[in-house]
Amino acid sequence: MNINTRLFSSAFALLLMLAMGFLASGVQAANLPGPIVSAQQLKALVDSKSVVVLDTRELFQTDGKTPNYAAGHIPGSRPAPYSLFRGPKENPGAVMPLAALTQLVASLGLDPQQAVVLAGSGSDATEFGGVARIYWNLKAAGFTKLAVLNGGTGAWMAAKLPLDKGEPAKIPPSRPKLTYNQAMMVGTDELNQLTKSGKTPLLIDARPEDFFLGEMRHPQAARWGTLPGAKHWDSEEWFVANTGRLLDTTQLRSIAQREGFVSAQPQVSFCNAGHWAATHWFILSEILGQKNVRMYPESVVAWSKAGLPMDNEPSRSTALMRQVKGIGIMKN
């Protein structure tokens, strides 16, 4: 055997070993059906070991004792609670520093080239917003193969698909290289300059109506009201009533066209802290393909603290009365 033959054989063996390790680790990227997958579609992906499932539920229920993940989860899924992706208490919508996100992604054993499906509880529209926010955060950091399980773990259970119980398997940390795509987000200063320059995008307030009307505020917001000139659209309208399951794509497109969201005009979605706003961004950008939609992650909490103009802001006497009586403030 000559030197060239030996080198070729060695190289082929190395490539074969790498490919076998790649397949064994389950990191080969699948072609996802789209940004939304059904329970049955996810089952096929899980069985083929071609996707990583992140369980975005908190580890425990609100009593702090009853487990979520350990009590039952999609086989092979990795716990990635929504709270890990949030900003500090005083500004929960703040984008995670890139170093912190990189550390979190590494601890989850993720790489931007992997196919990742996010599975929340599927309990309601608000819970979906947390899943959408994680999706937005990962995409902004360079992940390109992402999807959300429609109806969450609840849909998986309703389909009587198998569950695993107990603690997660140990995952070797990854070494991801992440970079934020700033074009997907807008900050307070930039948005303020856009409004001053007359180039204000279509601003979509994705909160429930009482927030938009200035009757309710987030506990970390400094004032009641909404951004100047904003259009109200409650993100819950994108869902089958009283569920965490999105309407089908035909219905979503019909609603978006009726409300004027399918257009060439740039749009920015916001809420209190980039939670409900993430749902609006997800529908318009990922499902309906509107590439001119961005999100204001810090939203009203940051805007109100910056002392910038707001619409629907109550009088000072009304605001003081509410403050003294502790009314008109969302409970944590």
Per-residue model confidence as pLDDT tens digits over 237-277: 999 999 999 999 999 999 999 999 999 999 999 999 999 99
CATH superfamily of this structure's domain 185-325? Rhodanese-like domain (3.40.250.10)
Task: Report the C-alpha dihedral over residues 197, 136, 127, 258, rounded to 10 degrees.
Answer: 50
pTM over 0.85: yes
Neighbouring residues of 133: CB distance < 8 A, sequence distance ≥ 6:
82, 85, 274, 275, 278
Give percent above pLDDT 90 in the chain. Answer: 88
Q: Confidence class of residue 14 from pLDDT cuts 50, 70 and 90?
A: very low
pLDDT at 15 over 90: no
Q: Any idea which residue has 């009593």 for tokens?
A: 63
pLDDT at 28 over 50: yes
Q: Any idea which residue has 């529908």 for tokens?
A: 283
What is the structure's pLDDT at 2?
36
Domain definitions of the chain by residue range: 26-158, 185-325
Q: Confidence class of residue 29 from pLDDT cuts 50, 70 and 90?
A: low
Neighbouring residues of 309: CB distance < 8 A, sequence distance ≥ 6:
228
Architecture of domain 26-158: 3-Layer(aba) Sandwich (3.40)
Cβ atoms of 55 and 79 within 8 Å: the answer is: yes
Give the residues across from 55 on adjacent strands.
Answer: 79, 119
The predicted model gives 176-187 an average pLDDT of 97
Cβ atoms of 46 and 76 within 8 Å: the answer is: yes
Q: Any idea which residue has 């009587």 for tokens?
A: 160
